[in-house]
Amino acid sequence: MDFAKSDIQAMLLDSAERLLSENADVEYWRHQRSSALGFDEARWAQFAELGWLALPVPEAAGGLDGTIEDIALLNIALGRALATEPYVSTVVLADHVLKQAADEAGSLELLGQIAGGTLRIALAHQENGAHPLDVEAGGTLARPSAGGYMLSGAKIMALDAPSAGQLIVSARMEGEEGTGLFLVPADAPGLSVESYALIDGTRASDIVLADVALPAGALLVGGNRGAAVLREAIDRASIALMAQAVGAMEAANKICGAYVQERKQFGAAIGSFQAIQHIMADNFVAAHQARSMLYHALANADQDQATRSAALSAARLVIGEAGQTVSRNGIQVHGGYGLTDEYAIGHYFRRLMCIEKQYGDLIQHGERFGDSIFG
């Protein structure tokens, strides 16, 4: 066991420090939130220049062939800076599906475009009322048609879809078992899209598919493997999100630590009061345990599906709750200022709440982990 950073990891963290730290503040976040896509496309291009978008891409497609640890370390930095770029959707989730796709050459082409910053892909899988950890597509149907497929159904809350050029849509395959994963252009005829902001400033879409006609090549992963590939991809997205949560918590703790030394009441810094000190100690413990669980999830990332999912859900349980502890306590020590949009802590609070509920929330991961223990 070795926690020392590899050369590529040190390089990633160094570049992250340089690019992200200058824009990790309320003014920047508020400006991005009011922009068209919720993030700065020029900075996305810088992500590409720094190689971040090529991180999990195979060398054959001009990528860096990075590990899940590399991805996690970069996402810690993204979380610390509350970056709203669709990194997880495109680079973690979609990349993983593309790497498993049947048409290898076509996928390498798409992965190359992602690495270059010219293509973003979002996942449209979740359906209203479906279990977030269920990787079978219940209500969306793919019917064979002349030369391809016709897709119909309704997806809800496709994260980062408003800025994506292509969507990965899950659908039940008519006449066969399983779930297929389809590549669908975001402007395909038959799609109707309603987009909105989430509380952390990121964007999502509800998508209705009405007889969307697709060529046969649009089927990235067939029905026999679709669910398994989707589960792997979502698990990896979960790891990246947990890493962002760890970064966000550690940053929030720093901000609160500074605030309680600066804020004075009764003629003294509030950090001199034991009641506040103990809240801060609780926050430190929570963030520390969260990072420990990120390591646990990473150490099991390549295990068989049952082991991996159990470790991941255990980690989501600890990290999800730690994020709530840290950011709720963070607001508490800020008093009324914690409730304003003008202080950073409220931005961390909203982001950590979003992370806790995406790709399975505390209750659902708790259930999945409990089931893994008792069967």
- Applying CB under 8 A, which residues contact other proteins? 1-6, 9, 69, 73, 250, 253, 257, 260-261, 269, 271-272, 274, 276-278, 280-282, 284-285, 288-290, 292-293, 295-296, 298-299, 311, 314-315, 317-318, 363, 366-367, 369-371, 373-374
CB of 295 to other proteins, least distance (A): 5
How remote is the C-alpha of 66 from its chain's centroid? 17
Q: How far apart are CA 243 and CA 249, in angstroms?
A: 10
Pick 81 or 173: Cβ nearer other proteins: 81
Pick 21 or 272: Cβ nearer other proteins: 272
Pick 34 or 277: Cβ nearer other proteins: 277
Residue 144 parent element (H or E): strand 141-145
Pick 75 or 170: Cβ nearer other proteins: 75
The DSSP code for 23 is G
CB of 64 to other proteins, least distance (A): 15
CB of 296 to other proteins, least distance (A): 5
Token pair recorded at residue 62: 């001009």
Q: Pick the closest to residue 332 from 345, 319, 348 (CA basis).
A: 345
Pick 67 or 113: Cβ nearer other proteins: 67
CB of 252 to other proteins, least distance (A): 12
DSSP string, 47-100: HHHTTGGGTTS-GGGT-----HHHHHHHHHHHHHTT--S-HIIIIIIIHHHHHT
Pick 200 or 250: Cβ nearer other proteins: 250
Q: How far apart are CA 135 and CA 53, in angstroms?
A: 26
CB of 344 to other proteins, least distance (A): 16
Pick 73 or 237: Cβ nearer other proteins: 73
Token pair recorded at residue 79: 């979380």
Residue 119 parent element (H or E): none
Asked whether 261 and 338 are in contact (CB, 8 A), the reply is no
CB of 311 to other proteins, least distance (A): 8
CB of 96 to other proteins, least distance (A): 19
Q: How far apart are CA 107 and CA 100, in angstroms?
A: 9
Contacts of 351 (CB under 8 A, 6+ apart): 79, 82, 200, 244, 248
